[in-house]
Amino acid sequence: MKLSMFTLTAVLAINTFVFTPDQCLADGQNSITGKVIFKGDPANYKRTKINTTKDPNCKKAKKTIGSEKVIVNKKTDPMTLRNVVVSIKEGLGKKSFPVSKEELTIIQIGCQYKPHVLAGQAGQTLRILNGDNTNHNIHFLPKVNDEHNFTQPKKDTEKGKTIILKAEDPFKVKCDVHPWMNCFVAIFEHPFFDVTSKDGTFTLTGMPDGAYTIEAWHEAFGKVTAEVEVSGGKAANMDLTFEPKS
Amino acid sequence: MNRSRIIGIATILVVGICLIAPSVALGQADAPIASGNQIDGDYGYGLPPMLSKDGQGVDDLIIILHWFMTALFVGWAIFFVYCLFRFRSRAGHKATYDPVKAKASKYAEIGVAAFEAFLLIGLSMPIWAATKNDMPSKDDATHVRVVAEQFQWNFHYPGADGKFGRTAPDMVDTVENPLGLDRSDPAATDDVYATELHLPVNKPVICDLTSKDVIHSFSLPVMRVKQDVIPGMRIPVWFTPVKEGRYEVACAQLCGNNHYSMRAEMVIEDDASFATWLKEVGIVEEFDEDELD
Amino acid sequence: MSGDHHHEPGFIRKYVFSVDHKVIGVQYGVTALCFLFLGFSLMMLMRWQLAYPGEEMPFIGNIFGEDAMPGGVMLPEFYNSLGAMHGTIMIFLGVVPLLVGAFGNYVMPLQIGAPDMAFPKLNMASYWVYLLGGIVMLCSFFVPGGAANSGWTSYPPLSNIATTGQTWWLFGMVCLITSSLLGSVNFIVTIIQLRVEGLTMFRLPYFVWAQLITSFLLLLAFPPLEAAGVLQLMDRLAGTSFFMPEGLVVSGVVQTQMSGGGSPLLWQHLFWFLAHPEVYVLILPAMGIVAEIIANNTRKPLWGYRAMIYSTIFLGFMSFIVWAHHMFMTGMGTKISAFFATTTMIISIPSVVILTALVISLYQGAIRFTVPMLFALAFLPMFAIGGLTGLPLGLPASDIHLHDTYYVIGHFHYVVAPGTIFAIFAGIYHWYPKVTGRTLNNALGYMHFFLSFVFINMVFMPMFWQGMAGVSRRLYDQTVYAHGDAVQSLTIMSSWGAWMLGLAQIPFIINFFISAVAGKKVSNNPWDATTLEWLAPSPPPHGNFETVPVVYRGPYEYSVPGASEDFHPQHVTTEA
Amino acid sequence: MSAEVLPYTVKPHPVTGLYNGKFGIWLFLASEVMLFGALFSTYVFLRMGAPETGPTAWPTGEETHLNWMLGGLNTLILILSSVTMVLAWVQFKMDNFAKGRIYLIITAILAIAFVAIKFKFEYAHKFHMDIYPKTSVFFAIYYTMTGLHAIHIIGGVVVICYFIGPGAKLWEENREYYTNRIECTGLYWHFVDLVWIFLFPILYLL
């Protein structure tokens, strides 16, 4: 991550509160939705093709793969950004929330991690699977959690390896066998987070009434924050914008 | 004692043959088919193909040495077996107290020492000196910077200006900039990064070897090139490929858990294809956001 | 040492914390044999992965746990741990303790007529520190990340950034080095000071000479490794940069926490300054054992006894100035490499002299093919192969192709496995009657020898062809390379040889334990030998000899003309 | 096992002129020479390899923050302790136990003073300035070599204290044996002293 290469300016979008009285939900059923807007020239962020000849099994599994560092959804209007983690940063106080029983999964397929950015809650089980016909190496590069570094044998598609993580800002997970392979994992104390995908939108649901600071994190562009207030089971709508100058 | 000796020999023959036969057969049966690109050249039980202009000396030395070793060993073994048979303990045979006065062993030892001196001074030193001192002129040679990391070979071509751009450790990005190349440096604008080593045929190549993390060893079996890659040092090696094709780059020094996977491919091609490749590999290809998902 | 109380010591003092060199020798022997077998087992596991890469290990694949072998498939990290620990255990916990700790401790004082070692308590300390080192090494398998996995050579920066197992390895090594130092001081003083009357230096059995030179090598070569170990511990625990240059990027992370300014080559120099003399530590006592057995079983004095001793001394000196021939590929210039290649060629000559002397000793002898003699005879061609294949590795030019390939593995295993370990077996069969008063069973012995001989060659011979083909050593899966895939059948052959070699040790293990209680009882001198250890009762009591012997002649007076018997022991007063 | 069985534990061997213990300590010192020799070689190797300028250049003079006065004082202390060690041995040799013991006590006090200066003034001062072994290669080798040397000093102090205290019983049993042991301790002590005499200039002055 070369944050120094970019001068980041986070421009707060106009927070529009849309009141919909007939959707008056109970406390704790509030939601925040919105999209992550990209203001910049996508031509500066071309995705490079990755040469996988090092491992013939990668080449066999898939024709071509490209870098996933910056993926701009050019078809949406306005253009949005993929793989952004949106979460509540402040405002929850010391409340604790039940941990989801759902498992998080990372699968290595075609010598790429799926998903590229994963968000989860502390205490949730993370299962790592290998769908490729080659050994992979999973190297965690966190600051809070343990630095796991292990090899996973080929075609380990069912059992995999399970890990339970502590809360931590997004950190990198890398494969040393295939150095181009990386993904990011963000773990939160609470369940209010989302990762943007093809449409560039996010939805956070179920938070109690209150004023929150929302943070969006992108692997190349860093963080932007915005304030929002929700109450009475209403859905608040807000957009976050990344505007890299380069 | 005789009976036990017979038991021993019989056991060995029976068990040995029973076990060696199936294992050799198994060896033939199990031949996993390598996927991916076809690697050129015939590989077998002997030396791999020799495709470098300068590597013949290494092969010659190895072959001469092995003939020498075989001759010594066979001669020695004949004497050894003769002694075992001729001087075995048996009724009526007694050992001689006085040492044998023959000079043959002394001559043999002197002969061996002299031949070793010849191998060292006559063959090894000139070859080694050529590998270390006769660096081809940089103007005629293809110059490549080889950057090793766990567990990948990175190749850095200087581009048309012949100058390598500045690199810095803190600019390294594992996906987009494994070299840590500073694109703002004017010399870096035309630099090319690749994970395959492409080289023009019949033209000397100079590889400057550096490492980002641990000690690796740059091994090109078909070129008879091997050189440790040591972090903090920049070590040049050179060779001249003479045959087109696709070959392998191996790591010969334990460099971590996945040392075995530190493999790259080397493509020797004619000047025109090399020039085309150099142009194409440098282009940042653009893909649609969903295309490569 | 002050006590002159003659009461019998209790069980613990007599057999566990004993200061008697014989008990310590047996303790060393049994412990080291266990480690030898463990080291061998690690290799048998590795051979599965090498022969059938990525396939589930049958029968025992699932007992190693998910971190080492998930689903019975060996992971590269476990493979590397096994590789590093195989080397360490075999050399530092198996072979050296057997040769020096066991044979040296037990036989050497007897051969010089001494009642014990010069410093008995130091001797005991040496064993217990060794055992502690061994236990530390074993424990390291159970720490997170497994045992050390950077090879037995532990080259930094890799070993600096490796898992905790490496720290344990270093602590274990410091223990083993300390043990060796204590032992070597003791050996030298004992040999120089405690010889009985009449036993001049040139009447010493060659085995004692070999032990003396070996002790000097241990004494002077081990401290630099200890220094290197301390430096690496500093690097790992205090964050220093002795072996780390600046600007390293490991796994995409810039290493800013360390200052840089060190050199990875520093370790290699310090390490190989130890490890080349170490090679002679592995081979000299083995030659000593073989020389004893050959003289005894040819019924003839050793040919060129003095030449062998001078060669051994020369070998000892030279072994300190050849270390960099392990480093030809580190970017060495022509001048330094010429120096080290020359010293390497020179050091081959005394080895040739010793080997020649041993072979010529057979000439005009009356060779008894006893079990120890068979092992000693097999040592000769096997060591010859090991020595000869050292030539292409000692010349820098041919080393370019063969460096760090299976050729190297074949070369040094021929020296150490069918060489040294065969000599160890020879020694065990030879001196077992002295230790227990009973002989080992002959039929099982012959079975052990012939099976081992065939299979050990089946293990190591294919490696020369693999090396020629250019296959790198320490590869978890060589089939990823086209040139490796082409010779995979050799790997499979080698693996089957290794497993069969494992089975071939069963007769020995049975023999070793059964014969201790049920073997044939024999006299004090069952082999009709001449050296002093055969004068002592079997097993020798505390203090070794009933009366202090006096020596009248050289060590190998066999078949003296005109004598009634074909051996003339060193302590017998009458002329033949 | 018992002393009277093993020859030459007290009396010197007619050929070598050494009793076992003295021979042993000389051999031990030979291995110590190799140990410190390896570290001195490391110093030379790293210093030769260091660049002229830049962050990894070898520090000179003031940059090392080493006080040559303190180092010099320690050198004097050690030399003095070597002298008192010899005097102790001489007194024992002259059958004068009480005086010898006093010299031993002085030696131990000097050694403790050395260690105190080393830890209290030198190390503590540097830690206070945020200088640790990881700060640079120079300090890495400084801490490693002086630390290892200090461990040797402490080991020596323990042995000397043993002979002042519980080990003194041996004097009653066998005076020559006791004196020999003091001689061996002295040899070791001179060696440790000698190491410092090499360490002081290469770290503080050069």
Sequence-ordered list of residues with C-beta below 8 angstroms from that of C341, at least 6 positions apart, any chain: B120, B124, B125, B128, C325, C328, C394, C395, C396
Mean pLDDT of all residues in B177-191? 87
The verdict on B111 and B155 lying in the same domain is: no
C189 — contact with chain D (CB < 8 Å)? yes
pLDDT digits (tens, 9 = 90+) for B76-97: 999 999 999 999 998 888 888 9
What are the residues facing A33 on neighbouring strands?
A: A203, A237
Q: Average pLDDT, whole number, for chain B?
A: 84
Residues 82-141 of C with CB under 8 A from D: 114-116, 118-120, 122
Q: Are B158 and B166 in contact (CB under 8 A)?
A: no
Helices (H), chain A: 56-61
Contacts of C370 (CB under 8 A, 6+ apart): B1, C297, C429, C527
Print burial letters for D39-73: b (CB count within 10 Å at least 16), e (below 16): bbbbbebbeebbeeeeebebbeeeebebeeeebee
> Do residues D192 and D153 touch, judged by C-beta distance below 8 A?
yes
Chains that touch C (3 or more CB pairs under 8 A): A, B, D
> What does each C-alpha distance from B28 to B22, B44, B153, B228, C12 come to in angstroms?
10, 13, 32, 34, 57
Of C264, C388, C397, the CB nearest to B57: C397
Please answer whether residues C172 and C133 qualify as being in contact, where contact means their C-beta atoms are separated by less than 8 angstroms: yes
Cβ atoms within 10 A of the Cβ of A155, count? 15
Q: Do C264 and B83 touch (CB under 8 A)?
A: no
What confidence score (pLDDT) does residue B105 get? Answer: 80
Are residues B147 and B111 both part of a single domain?
A: no
Closest of A114, A26, A9 to residue A68, by C-alpha: A114
Chains C and B touch (3+ CB pairs under 8 A): yes
* Number of domains forming the structure of chain B: 2
Contact present, D and A (at least 3 Cβ pairs less than 8 Å): no
User: Whole-model pTM?
Assistant: 0.91
Mean pLDDT over A124-134 rounds to 90
Higher pLDDT, B234 or B29: B234
Within 8 A by CB and 6+ apart from C336, the residues are C324
Q: In the CATH scheme, what is the code of domain D20-49+67-205?
A: 1.20.120.80
* Chain A residues close to C55, C-beta within 8 Å: none
Identify the pLDDT of residue C170.
Answer: 95
Which residues in chain A are closer than 8 Å to B258, comparing Cβ atoms? Answer: 135, 137, 151, 176-177
Compute the nearest-CA separation of D163 from chain C (Å): 16
Query: What is the Cα–Cα distance from C275 to C281, expressed in whole angstroms?
Result: 9
How far, in Å, CA of B187 to CA of B159, rounded? 9
Q: What is the pLDDT of residue C563?
A: 82
Rounded CA separation B124/A136 (Å)? 42
Query: What is the DSSP pairing of strand A125-130 with strand A104-109?
Result: parallel
Does B242 reach chain C within 8 Å, measured CB to CB? no
Contact between chains at D27 and C188 (C-beta distance less than 8 A): yes
Q: How confident is the model at residue C522 (pLDDT cuts 50, 70, 90)?
A: very high
Residues 245-264 in B contacting A (C-alpha not used; CB under 8 Å): 256-258, 261, 263-264
The per-residue pLDDT for range C63-109, each reduced to its tens digit, is: 888 888 888 889 999 999 999 999 999 999 999 999 999 999 999 99
Chain B: give the shortest CA distance to residue C108, in Å.
26
Check CB contact under 8 Å for D46 and C542.
Answer: no
**In the predicted model, is pLDDT for residue B290 greater than 70?**
no
| Of the partner residues D46, D133, D170, the one whose CB lies closest to the CB of residue C238 | D133
Q: Which residues of B143-178 are buried (b: 16+ CB within 10 A; e: fewer)?
A: bbbbbbbbbbbbbbbbbeeeebbbbeeebbbbbbbb
Q: So what's the pLDDT on residue B250? A: 94
pLDDT band, residue A155 (cuts 50/70/90): confident
How much is the pLDDT for B67? 94
CA distance A48 to chain C (A): 18
Mind telling me how many Å the CA of A97 is from chain B's nearest CA? 34
> Is position B220 within any domain?
yes
How sure is the predictor about A6, in pLDDT bands with cuts at 50, 70 and 90? Answer: very low
Interchain pair A59, B37: CB under 8 A: yes
The SS3 assignment for A164 reads strand
Query: Would you state the pLDDT for residue A63?
Result: 61
B273-B274-B280-B282 Cα dihedral, nearest 10 degrees = 180
C453: which chain B residues are within 8 Å (Cβ-Cβ)? 12
C251 shares contact with chain A (CB less than 8 Å): yes
Q: How many residues does this entry show for chain C?
A: 576
Pick the residue from chain D with its C-alpha nearest to C201: D15
* pLDDT single digits (tens) D147-167: 999 999 999 999 999 999 888
Query: How far is C431 from C524, CA to CA, in rounded Å?
Result: 11
In angstroms, the CA C266 to CA C261 distance is 12
Which of A46, A50, A57 is closest, CB to CB, to B286? A46
Cα–Cα distance list, A218 to A23, A38, A81, A107, A225 (Å): 32, 11, 9, 21, 12
Say which range, C1-5, C160-164, C301-305, C551-555, has the weakest mean pLDDT: C1-5
- Confidence tier at B284 by pLDDT (50, 70, 90): low
Per-residue confidence band for B30, with pLDDT thresholds at 50, 70 and 90: very low
- pLDDT category of residue D206 using cuts at 50, 70 and 90: confident
Measured between alpha carbons, how far is C111 from C107 in angstroms, rounded to an integer? Answer: 6
Q: pLDDT digits over D52-95, tens only?
A: 888 888 887 777 788 888 899 999 999 999 999 999 999 999 99
Of residues C160, C165, C173, the one with CA closest to residue C146 = C165
pLDDT at A16 over 80: no
Residues B113 and B163 in one domain: no
Query: What's the rounded Cα separation, in Å, for the pair D125 and D119?
Result: 9
- Per CB-CB distance under 8 Å, the chain B contacts of C473 are 252
What residues of chain C lie within 8 A of the CB of A174, using their CB? 251-252
pLDDT digits (tens, 9 = 90+) for C398-446: 999 999 999 999 999 999 999 999 999 999 999 999 999 999 999 999 9
Neighbours of chain A (3+ CB pairs under 8 A): B, C
Contact B257 A176 (CB under 8 A): yes
A24 part of a folded domain: no
Q: What are the structural domain ranges in chain C?
A: 24-240+262-534
A162-212 pLDDT, tens digit each: 999 999 999 999 998 888 889 999 999 989 999 998 888 999 888 888 889
In B, minimum Cα distance to A43 occurs at B286
Q: How far is C245 from chain D (nearest CA, A)?
A: 9
Chain B residues closer than 8 Å to A57 by CB: 35-36
* Alpha carbons C10 and C340: distance in angstroms, whole number: 55
Within 13 Å and on the Cβ side, how many CA atoms surround D21?
19
pLDDT at B100: 86
Please check whether residue A246 touches B, CB under 8 A: no
Beta strand segments in C152-302, E = 249-250, 253-254
Burial of C546 (0-12, 13-18, 19+ CB in 10 A): exposed
Q: C253 at the A interface (CB within 8 A)? A: yes
> How many CB atoms within 10 Å of residue A22?
4
Count CB pairs under 8 A between chains C and D. Answer: 155
Question: Is the Cβ pair A64, B196 closer than 8 Å?
Answer: no
Q: Is A73 left (phi over 0), alpha (psi -120 to 50) or beta?
A: beta
d(CA C204, CA C211): 11
Of C362, C391, C397, which is closest to B69 when you measure between CB atoms? Answer: C391
pLDDT-based confidence at B23, cuts 50/70/90? low
Q: Do B176 and B234 share a domain, yes or no?
A: yes
**What percentage of residues in chain C have a pLDDT greater than 90?**
78
Sorted by where each begins, the domain ranges of chain D are: 20-49+67-205
So what's the pLDDT on residue B12?
Answer: 59
B 175-234 residues with CB < 8 A to A = 175-178, 194-196
Closest CA to C275 of C218, C350, C199, C190: C218
Find out if CATH 1.10.150.120 is the number for domain C24-240+262-534: no
Q: What is the mean pLDDT of residues A100-127?
A: 90
Residues 6+ apart with CB under 8 A from C209: C288, C308, C309, C312
Q: Does C196 touch chain D (CB under 8 A)?
A: no
Write down the pLDDT at residue A233: 78
Considering the domain architecture, whether residues B153 and B268 belong to the same structural domain is answered as: yes
Supply the DSSP symbol for C57: P
Chain B residue numbers with beta carbons less than 8 Å from the beta carbon of C48 are none
One domain, residues B129 and B162: no
**β-strand A222-230 against A7-12: which pairing, if any?**
unpaired
pLDDT of residue B74: 95
Tokens of A135: 């050994």
Taking an 8 Å cut-off on Cβ atoms, the answer to whether C253 and A141 are in contact is: yes
> Are B95 and C560 an interchain contact pair (Cβ–Cβ within 8 Å)?
no
Q: How confident is the model at residue B3 (pLDDT cuts 50, 70, 90)?
A: low
Task: Give the domain range for residue B64.
Answer: 48-87+104-134
CA distance D15 to D7: 13
CB within 8 Å: A151 and C77? yes
Query: Is B27 a residue whose pLDDT tops 60?
Result: no
Question: Is there a contact between C77 and A179 if contact means CB atoms under 8 Å apart?
Answer: no
CA angle B146, B149, B154 (to 5 degrees): 35
A69 → closest Cβ in B149, B176, B264: B176
> Are B259 and C474 in contact, with CB atoms under 8 Å apart?
yes
State the complex-level ipTM: 0.88
Residues of D in contact with C261 (CB under 8 A): 46, 50, 55-56, 136-137
Q: Indicate whether B2 pLDDT > 90.
A: no
Q: How far is C1 from chain B (nearest CA, A)?
A: 45
Distance, in angstroms, between C150 CA and closest chain A CA? Answer: 15
pLDDT given at position A9? 32
- Quick one: which of A87, A75, A71, A73 has its CA closest to A34? A87
Distant-in-sequence, close-in-space partners of B194: CB < 8 Å, separation ≥ 6: A51, B154, B155, B157, B281
Q: Is the pLDDT of residue B20 over 60?
A: no
CB neighbour list of residue C474: distance below 8 Å, 6 or more residues apart: B254, B259, C80, C83, C151
Q: How confident is the model at residue D146 (pLDDT cuts 50, 70, 90)?
A: very high
Residue B178 lies in a domain: yes
Asked if the C-beta of B20 comes within 8 angstroms of chain C's C-beta atoms, the answer is yes
